[in-house]
């Protein structure tokens, strides 16, 4: 079978790569053409565009880059039509992928969607479009199945693919890791400012503003694979340590973390690192988003899945030096730390166990045989 896959972000690259690995097991003749990143490239096939050229975050940023986005959509449509795949697999990235889904459906090609758009937070009306243009939706958050049931649309809850990724991590030699990255023996506070240039510029200086207040700890920045280290040094200089493309290993030896919103909050929790969630966006985008996002109390996946405040969220105007210092102190030195770790155990069991990539691959291959 010929598969065309579109993933527009670092997390999508990770999950799509694991899905490709499982598809090859079920379908030895599998051929891939895709939009994604380095991890997908390791599985073979042809990379059309890298996600680093696609990631625009927020209403204002999308408007400013609308011509580029529309151009990319046109490229994708033409490329799919020329390739004539047996199936198109769309991974999250809804603003782009839902447009592609409609086009592909009209071509008579099977459309599979892996990792649902967060339409339960905003734009719930998109569910009607999804019902028309997506043949099968595979969801990874337990509450999403019930959400779609309300609209009489059957989806498959396949579990969360992060469990697969984390379950297959090789053992880590902490002392060697510290030596390789020139880290001293102090406990580590990992700093995860995101993977997009614009969010790093905004959030990283704030996240590091408290560094001098915690001399018994070392702050280490997790460098995203899509970002050259020079981009971080332009913002923070050379005084702090940066570990490139080793975020999981860094978290595994960290005592606490400051984490931007998104998938990283869940990854940090599953690696059992107490965290403070830090979010600050473009002011215009934030004000628009605040008015259109409905029915959700939290922004971090940890709290959304648990439906309670397990980790503290410092959002927009609350992301200040004083608040970061206070909340970081709490997860380092108070009973709150132990409570977070207990809640992380409950979180793990809510996520459906390992095997999400395998279950999704099975469902796709079996459906294609019909």
The proportion of the chain whose per-residue pLDDT surpasses 90, expressed as a percent, equals: 71
Q: Per-residue pLDDT tens for 180-239?
A: 999 999 999 999 998 878 788 889 999 999 999 999 999 999 998 778 888 888 888 777
Q: Are 188 and 221 in contact (CB under 8 A)?
A: no
Count H helices and E strands in the chain, helices first: 18, 13
Closest CA to 262 of 72, 24, 8, 89: 8
Q: Do 173-351 and 2-159+355-369 fall under one CATH topology?
A: yes
Q: Per-residue pLDDT tens for 102-139?
A: 999 999 999 999 999 888 877 788 899 999 999 999 99
Q: Are 271 and 166 in contact (CB under 8 A)?
A: yes
pLDDT for 226: 73
Q: Per-residue pLDDT tens for 165-194?
A: 898 899 999 999 999 999 999 999 999 998
Q: Are 12 and 92 in contact (CB under 8 A)?
A: yes
Closest CA to 77 of 47, 116, 48: 48
Any idea where the domains of the chain sit in the sequence? 2-159+355-369, 173-351
What burial class does residue 194 get, using C-beta atoms within 10 Å of its C-beta: 0-12 exposed, 13-18 middle, 19+ buried? buried
CATH fold for the domain made of 2-159+355-369: Rossmann fold (3.40.50)
Q: Is the pLDDT of residue 344 over 60?
A: yes
Give the CATH architecture of domain 173-351: 3-Layer(aba) Sandwich (3.40)
Q: Per-residue pLDDT tens for 45-103?
A: 999 999 987 655 554 455 555 666 778 899 999 999 999 999 999 999 888 999 999 99
């Amino acid at each position: 079978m010929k598969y065309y896959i579109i993933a527009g972000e670092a997390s999508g690259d990770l999950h799509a790569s694991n899905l490709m690995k499982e598809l090859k097991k079920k379908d030895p003749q599998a051929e891939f053409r895709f939009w994604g990143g380095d991890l997908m490239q390791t599985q073979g096939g042809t990379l059309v565009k890298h996600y680093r050229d696609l990631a625009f975050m927020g209403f204002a940023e999308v408007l400013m880059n609308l011509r580029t986005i529309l151009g990319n959509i046109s490229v994708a449509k033409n490329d799919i039509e020329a390739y004539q795949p047996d199936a198109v697999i769309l991974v999250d990235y809804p603003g782009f992928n839902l447009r592609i889904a409609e086009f592909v459906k009209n071509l008579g090609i099977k459309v599979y969607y892996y990792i649902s758009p967060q339409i339960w937070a905003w734009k719930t009306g998109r569910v009607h479009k999804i019902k028309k243009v997506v043949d099968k939706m595979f969801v990874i958050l337990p509450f999403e199945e019930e959400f779609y049931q309300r609209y009489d649309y059957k989806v498959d809850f396949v579990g969360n693919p992060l469990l697969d990724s984390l379950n297959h991590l090789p053992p880590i030699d902490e002392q060697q890791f510290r030596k390789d990255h020139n880290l001293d023996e102090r406990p580590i506070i990992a700093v995860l400012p995101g993977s997009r240039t614009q969010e790093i510029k905004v959030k990283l200086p704030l996240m590091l503003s408290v560094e001098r207040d915690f001399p018994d700890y070392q702050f280490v920045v997790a460098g995203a694979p899509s970002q050259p280290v020079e981009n971080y040094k332009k913002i923070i200089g050379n005084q702090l340590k940066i570990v490139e493309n080793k975020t999981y290993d860094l978290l595994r030896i960290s005592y606490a973390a400051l984490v931007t919103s998104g998938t990283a909050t869940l990854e940090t929790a599953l690696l059992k690192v107490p965290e403070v969630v830090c979010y600050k966006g473009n002011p215009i985008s934030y004000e628009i988003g605040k008015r259109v996002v409905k029915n959700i109390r939290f922004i971090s996946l940890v709290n959304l899945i648990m439906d309670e405040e397990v980790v503290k969220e410092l959002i927009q105007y609350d992301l200040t030096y004083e608040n970061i210092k206070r909340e970081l102190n709490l997860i380092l030195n108070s009973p709150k730390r132990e409570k977070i770790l207990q809640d992380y155990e409950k979180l793990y069991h809510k996520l459906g166990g390992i095997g999400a990539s395998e279950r999704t691959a099975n469902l796709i291959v079996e459906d294609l045989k019909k």
